[in-house]
Amino acid sequence: MTVIDRNAAPSAAAGPSRPAAARLLAMVAGWDWLAKAWWTCLSVALFAGIWELCWALGWADPQLLPPPHIFLSNFGEQGKFFNTATRWQVGNSMGEGPSAFESVMITVAATTMRVFVGLVIACVLAIGVGVAVRYWHVFDKLVLPTVTLLSPVSPIAWLPVAIFLFGIGNAPAIFMVVVALFFHMVLATIAQIDGVSPNLINVARTMGASKRQIYGRVIVPAILPGMLQVLRMNLFGAWMVVLVAESTGVGYGMGQVIMLARNTFNPSLVFFTIAVVGVLGFGFDWLLRLAQRRILYWLPDTQEKLRGL
């Protein structure tokens, strides 16, 4: 098992075969990526296929549950509805303003921006507060009860508060995302800190690290993997809540489109928007996973092991 020869350099032993092995690895990784994309497509196709089948057999009423080929086909027409940004302005009719594609892009960008900004703010605040709770005892006593008290409150309950405080625009939507994630993320941060191996902290202590150094150099890097996981979990929560927020106070955004679809009884538009949200959420998650692998290079690949069982 172990190479114990004190003179044999472990990397030197693996040296000569490295390039070939690396090339092989890159190839396999490339295939892996392709395989993943393939399975994703297959998964979606399967779901869409069942739906289409139901439609073909007449089980799904196209007026209520239009299958993908219907709600995706008239992109130009559906896209126009995304033009809520200018449509609310007096004097603009449906025919004017940006093209369908531009409308979709503007709306998508607005909603994505709110999710992103909300996530970043919630993350920074939650990690800051979580670390502070463990760092200062008084802060713990003062803050933690309130955080725990507020964390079961549904984001819906914050909606009026968001409107009272911020009126309409980006702010209430971002506020909703932050408030929906913040409390859970504080609790998650604290749980992560409490899970740090006391041995690692003791090592730092024996080397003369101050409290600040222990937090900065041991605790924060040690909780990073867990925090990225928490972030990924909360990413979907952010996408959920942003639609709720946008469906009320905000001038434009995907939530507005859903509301419009509801009010005008347009199931095609609902499903179209759902598809867009799904693709966006998937993309975000993919980016985060990529970042996770980059930043957390030291984590063991348990997934791989589980697959081998």
Partner 1 sequence: MAFDPAPHFSSRDAVVCRGVGKTWAAGTKRAHEALRDVDLDIAPGEFVVFLGPSGCGKSTLLYLIAGLEEATEGLTWSFGDVVETPSPERSLIFQETSLFPWLTVWQNVSFGLAIRGASQQQRRAVAAEALQRVGLKAAMDKRPDELSGGMRQRVAVARALAMRPKVLLMDEPFAALDVQTRARMQDFLLDVWRDSGASVLFVTHHIDEAVALADRVVVFTSRPGRIKTIVPIDLPRPRNLFSREVEALRIQLTDLLRDEVDRAFAEQEALSATA
Write down the least CB distance from residue 306 to partner 1, Å. Answer: 18
User: What angle in degrees, to the nearest 10, is found between the helix axes of 267-295 and 100-135?
Assistant: 50
Write down the least CB distance from residue 300 to partner 1, Å. Answer: 6
- Residue number with CB closer to partner 1 (93 or 294): 294
Write down the least CB distance from residue 209 to partner 1, Å. Answer: 5
The distance between the two most distant Cα atoms of the chain, rounded to a whole number of Å, is 83
Point out which residues bind partner 1 (CB under 8 A). Answer: 1-4, 6-7, 9-12, 197, 199-200, 202-210, 213, 217-218, 221-222, 224, 297-300
Class of residue 44 by CB neighbours under 10 A (exposed 0-12, middle 13-18, buried 19+): middle
Question: How far apart (Å, rounded) are the C-alpha atoms in residues 305 and 286?
Answer: 21
- Residue number with CB closer to partner 1 (65 or 224): 224
- Residue number with CB closer to partner 1 (13 or 41): 13
Write down the least CB distance from residue 225 to partner 1, Å. Answer: 9
Write down the least CB distance from residue 218 to partner 1, Å. Answer: 7
Mark out the alpha helices in 98-210 (DSSP H runs): 100-135, 137-150, 155-166, 170-194, 198-206
- Residue number with CB closer to partner 1 (218 or 244): 218
Question: How far apart (Å, rounded) are the C-alpha atoms in residues 199 and 89?
Answer: 62
- Residue number with CB closer to partner 1 (91 or 198): 198
- Residue number with CB closer to partner 1 (217 or 232): 217
Write down the least CB distance from residue 127 to partner 1, Å. Answer: 17
End-to-end CA distance of the chain: 22
> What percent of the residues of the chain are helix, what percent strand, and what percent coil, each to the nearest 5?
75, 0, 25
Q: Let me know: does 196 contact 223? Beta carbons within 8 Å.
A: yes
Write down the least CB distance from residue 221 to partner 1, Å. Answer: 5
Question: How far apart (Å, rounded) are the C-alpha atoms in residues 197 and 205?
Answer: 13
- Residue number with CB closer to partner 1 (4 or 90): 4
Question: How far apart (Å, rounded) are the C-alpha atoms in residues 209 and 211?
Answer: 7
Write down the least CB distance from residue 191 to partner 1, Å. Answer: 19
CB atoms within 10 A of CB 131: 21
What six digits make up the tokens of 186? 């504080």
Residue partners of 222: CB distance under 8 A and separation at least 6: 196, 197, 200
Question: How far apart (Å, rounded) are the C-alpha atoms in residues 200 and 19?
Answer: 35
- Residue number with CB closer to partner 1 (16 or 152): 16
